[in-house]
């Protein structure tokens, strides 16, 4: 806490590392220097340009604001038998893309899962799945698909040049398109709300 107060005062240079160590009761100035370097790497401290021996505390929310984004939720998707289902916008879900390890674009969207056909992939009824539209699926990708005009959440399989959809629950059959298979999005992340 003492470092924050000292560093926030405008026009006052940051005290030497030895002084900070003494003030905090730390024996090794190297330990203090390591902690200051870690705080700079994490974005909580910065060195103002052109000012020697100066550190400025950044608001702890600054790094979070850069990574939290609102992903539109376009309704739900059946994870069971495919069904004719119109998608409707239902607002947004805020996600910390940094902690999820994803990049969002204008083609990123979310759907809420209804059903149990994907339990083998740990996708449960009520989960929110985040998708990226416009990406070519690879065999094994979890996809939001339109198969013969009915939507479903399944695993995309390409076998001998022919695409089909696999449920991750033995209660459900594989889905082979009679005429059309359209991939609406590839799963990039999953969010489970605690109950």
The strand pair at 68-78 and 108-114 is best described as: parallel
CA–CA separation, 175 and 185 (whole Å) = 17
* Catalytically annotated residue among 76, 117, 151, 189: 117
Q: Which two tokens stand for residue 90?
A: 């239902």
CA atoms within 13 A on the CB side of 91: 4
Is 117 labeled as catalytic in the residue annotation? yes
- Closest C-alpha to 128, from 140, 144, 141: 144
Of the candidates 146, 152, 138, the one whose C-alpha atom is nearest the C-alpha of residue 188 is 138
Catalytic residue among 76, 151, 154, 189: 154
CB proximity list for 82: less than 8 A, separation 6 or greater:
147, 148, 150, 151, 152, 175
Three-state DSSP at 24 gives: helix
Catalytically active residues are: 117, 154
């Amino acid at each position: 806490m003492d470092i924050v107060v000292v560093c926030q005062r405008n026009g006052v240079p940051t005290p030497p590392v030895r002084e900070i160590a003494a003030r905090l009761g730390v024996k090794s100035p190297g330990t203090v220097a390591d902690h200051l370097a870690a705080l700079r790497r994490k974005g909580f401290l910065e060195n103002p340009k052109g000012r020697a021996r100066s550190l400025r505390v950044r608001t702890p929310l600054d790094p979070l604001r850069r990574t939290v984004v609102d992903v539109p939720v376009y309704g739900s998707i059946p994870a069971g038998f495919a069904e004719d289902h119109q998608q409707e916008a239902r607002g947004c879900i805020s996600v910390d893309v940094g902690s999820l390890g994803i990049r969002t674009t204008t083609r990123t969207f979310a759907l809420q899962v209804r059903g149990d056909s994907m339990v083998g992939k740990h996708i449960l009824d009520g989960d929110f799945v985040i998708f990226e539209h416009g990406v070519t699926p690879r065999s094994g990708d979890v996809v939001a698909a339109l198969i013969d005009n009915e939507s479903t959440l399944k695993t995309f399989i390409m076998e001998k040049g022919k695409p089909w959809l696999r449920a991750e629950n033995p209660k459900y059959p594989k889905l082979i398109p009679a005429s059309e298979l359209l991939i609406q999005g590839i799963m990039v992340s999953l969010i489970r709300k605690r109950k």
